[in-house]
Copies of this chain bind each other. A is one copy, B any other.
Amino acid sequence: MRATVYHGPGDVRVDNVPDPKIQQPTDAIVRITHACICGSDLWFYRGLDDWKSGWRTGHEWMGIVEEVGSEVRNIKKGDRVLAPFAFSDGMCEFCGQGLQTSCVQGGFWGGVNDGGQAEAVRAPLADGTLVVVPPAVSGDNAMLKAILPVTDVMSTGHHAAVSAGVQPGGIAAVIGDGAVGLCGVLAAKRLGAERIIIVGRHENRLEIARHFGATDVVTSKDEQAVGEVMEMTKGGAPSVLECVGTESSLGTAISIARPGGAIGFVGVPHGSETINLSRMFFSNVALRGGVAPARHYIPELLADVVAGKLDPSPVLDHTVNLDGVPSGYAAMDNREAIKVMVQL
């Protein structure tokens, strides 16, 4: 089969690779119909993560089950399934707590595991990981595009909102206008926030933010952005969604949080960072969140998408086929696309 393979910074290729086969009785083989390219893929694409040549790519995907191992009970051949960006057994202490990203048997797609930017994948721990898409919508292309982001960015934005303690009628500030930040706006709106301030700088993305429910837009950065948010909230936002993952954006998040408030941080940090602990301490600002347990959130988010109550599809503003994956990476790297859908 054909699959996207990392060869080095700026160099991903669609190569011929061996067909995936059942290796464990808990595996499934899934033929991919849709995948995405993620902002976090740009880290290795830009040579900023320690990736090895030959590793597979793509952690957001949906497809049709071709085969299941002898111990798989909940998934059967022919099902349309989607996968959270991490796989998990569904049975351990952490899965039981809804923290599937810390599953003791789990892992992430891509790297030494199969990736979703490919014709097919071997999916380990199929019962604990995969979620069946209701057959009624399996042929509805617009619906499938709306469902696809719950594999990662919609669940991640939701995790930011939950971790930031967004309340009905409350005020939320979202830092970042990438796909996750935009989904954070949508999630805050869904949880009932009355005022949603987005801090971002790209007009086309801020337009989507407004469509998703942002009531205020701040286009300045750092200290000036802090001043504007402090002014418009008269002392800070009780819920701050940090959806970028740089020291500077986290610094902004800490500065604009209201005393007693919480920051939900979902932008991937890279190692140790210096943060203003004194501000957090004297204002009792909490820092919560991390890698989103998408598998925990998918059932409720998928149900809302299928019911027509939630539609994150506008973040997918660019579509390629499998051959177009390398150009899709380039488009995201050059900020010509917010997020790329791969349609097979």
Contacts and interface: CB of A to CB of B under 8 A. Distances in A.
A287 B290 contact: no
Contact of A278 (B250, B269, B277): B269
A273 interface: yes
B282 A291 contact: yes
A272 interface: yes
Contact of A290 (B163, B271, B274, B281): B281
B274 A282 contact: no
A102 B269 contact: no
A269 B277 CA distance: 6
A314 interface: no
Given A259-B94, A273-B277, A274-B273, A101 B268 contact: no
Interface in A257-281: 259-260, 265, 268-278, 280-281
Interface of A is mostly: mixed
Nearest to A254: B272
A296 to B, nearest CB: 11
A306 interface: no
A57 to B, nearest CB: 20
Given A99-B260, A260-B102, A280 B287 contact: yes
A286 interface: yes
A113 interface: no
B278 A285 contact: no
A178 interface: no
A283 interface: yes
A284 B293 contact: yes
A268 B284 CA distance: 12
Given A99-B260, A102-B260, A269 B284 contact: no
A276 B277 CA distance: 13
Nearest to A280: B290
A224 interface: no
Interface in A196-214: none
A270 B291 CA distance: 28
B290 A94 contact: no
A288 B290 contact: no
Nearest to A287: B287
Contacts of A260: 94, 97, 99, 102
A280 B278 CA distance: 18
A286 B284 CA distance: 13
A282 B275 contact: no
Given A94-B259, A271-B276, 17 more contacts: A99-B260, A101-B282, A102-B260, A102-B283, A269-B278, A271-B278, A272-B274, A273-B274, A273-B275, A273-B277, A280-B287, A281-B289, A281-B291, A283-B290, A284-B288, A284-B293, A286-B289
18 contacts: A94-B260, A99-B260, A101-B284, A250-B277, A265-B281, A269-B277, A269-B278, A272-B275, A272-B277, A273-B277, A274-B275, A280-B290, A281-B289, A282-B290, A282-B291, A284-B293, A286-B286, A287-B288
